[in-house]
Amino acid sequence: MSENAKMPPLPTGTFGERAVTWSRKNLFDGWFNTLLTLGAIAFIIWLIPPIFNWAVVNATLTPTIEGCAEVTGACWGFVNANLRLILFGTYPYDEQWRPVLAMIVLVGIICGSLAAVKFPGLRKWIIPMWVIGVPVIGILMWGGVFGLTYVQNSFWGGLPLTMILSAIGVIFAFPLGLLLALGRQSNMPAIKTVSVVYIEVIRGVPLITVLFMASVMFPLFLPAGVTIDKLLRAQIGIILFTAAYLAEVFRGGLQAVPRGQFEAADSLSLSYWQSMRLIILPQALRLVIPPTVNSFISMFKDTTLVVIIGLFDFLGTVKLALRSDPAWTKYYVEGYAFAAAIFFLICFSMAKYSAYLEKELRKGERR
């Protein structure tokens, strides 16, 4: 931004002249930058055409192994032929409209909640939406009522599983993280100690260990015959893990709120919860939007680790499809590229939304 301020008025002249001036100024500004520019151009020329040829020109969408054998480029036919396996995993084939519907409901609730920033009228609907929507998703996925056949959740997989794990993870990890952050700031020694120990222990181990403990060690400590659902164990593991990280993010936000704000709240004789809700948290949370979304993005990607405990998230179903027929196995680059594209799409949307949210909430400060 400061660069812009220093810039002289735009030079007049033909488009060509302006282009030359612009590139002199921005691309060939001294020998070092010239070298960098030329290097970058060479790199792009070296990199882009082969990728483009591979991914588009020489690629095929024909969903057969024979069709793929004929082309030299990417075999998108692998994705095409196995799309439903990749998207829904081992969910019963004839019932796959249910996860589709569940995803639509989930995306609807998420979008509805996110849009509340722009449309304040939606705000009072956020909680009802989730309270109704989550059971609806559960009914669609599990079934067993209203004439839907029961589908054990070991059959769930693919994108719905990834999205459910992430969405439920965010919903529960957020308040838990907030409580832990407040607990760590608390004056009460017991609460403070519990929070600190929890945060430090969970942060001290990798998620893969938490999941492994939840799926392999935990059942061993239960009495014989008692089992707790594997998906539930993984979900709880993810929530506990993310909450510990979020707690530290929120603590950063709390510490950044000036002392005077706390004192002002006290002087208004607000109770602890009132001052938090009305004065401190709105400021603290706004400050930490980027790292919070960062945590969410990393949690979204971390859900792929559930594959080690035998659940097939979206990346897991890509692997499942690669192994559905040995002839497909060699097209793993296409499979992973497809998964990467979907993950990028979702993570990039989250990042963009967080940037937008920051801008919206800062409106009061600009002016």
Partner 1 sequence: MKIKTILAAGAMTVAAVAAHNAQAGAVLDGIKAKGFVQCGVNTGLPGVAAANAEGKWEGQDVDFCRGLAAAILGDSNKVQYTPLTAAARFTALQSGEIDVLARNTTATLTRDAKLGLTFLGINYYDGQGFLVPTALGVSSATELDGATVCVEPGTTTELNLADYFRAKGMSFEPVVIENINETTAAFFAGRCDVYTTDASGLASIRNTMAPNPDDYMILPEIISKEPLGPLVAQGDDQLADIGRWVLNAMIEAEELGVTMANVDDMKANSTNPGVQRLLGVSPGMGEALGLDEAWAYNIIKQVGNYGESYDATIKKMLGLERGLNALWTDGGLMYAWPVR
Query: Which residues in this chain contact partner 1 in the complex, by CB under 8 A?
Result: 81-82, 84-85, 88-93, 152, 154-155, 157, 212, 215-217, 219-227, 230, 307-312, 316, 319-327, 329-330, 332
CA distances to 49, 62, 284, 342 from 58, rounded to whole Å, are: 12, 12, 52, 22
Q: Where are the beta strands (DSSP E) in the chain?
A: 157, 312-313
CB of 328 to partner 1, least distance (A): 9
Q: Within 10 A of 245 (CB to CB), how many other CB atoms are there? A: 21
CB of 83 to partner 1, least distance (A): 9
Q: How far apart are CA 37 and CA 171, in angstroms?
A: 46
Residue type, 4: N
Q: Could you write out the DSSP letters of every residue in 93-123?
A: GGGTHHHHHHHHHHHHHHHHHHHTTT-GGGG
CB of 312 to partner 1, least distance (A): 7
Nearer to partner 1, 67 or 291 (CB): 67
Nearer to partner 1, 121 or 326 (CB): 326
Q: How far apart are CA 300 and CA 311, in angstroms?
A: 15
Q: How far apart are CA 275 and CA 267, in angstroms?
A: 10
CB of 207 to partner 1, least distance (A): 15
Nearer to partner 1, 57 or 228 (CB): 228
Q: How far apart are CA 213 and CA 234, in angstroms?
A: 10
CB of 155 to partner 1, least distance (A): 8
CB of 219 to partner 1, least distance (A): 4
CB of 156 to partner 1, least distance (A): 11
| Residue (of 317, 339, 321) closest to 329 by Cα position | 321
Nearer to partner 1, 82 or 113 (CB): 82
Residue type, 248: E
User: How many whole angstroms from its chain centre is CA 264?
Assistant: 37
CB of 316 to partner 1, least distance (A): 8
Q: Which two tokens stand for residue 110?
A: 């998420």
Nearer to partner 1, 152 or 193 (CB): 152
Nearer to partner 1, 101 or 122 (CB): 101
Q: Within 10 A of 3 (CB to CB), how many other CB atoms are there? A: 7
Query: Which residues, 6+ apart, have CB-to-CB distance to 44 below 8 Å?
Result: none
Q: How far apart are CA 127 and CA 108, in angstroms?
A: 13
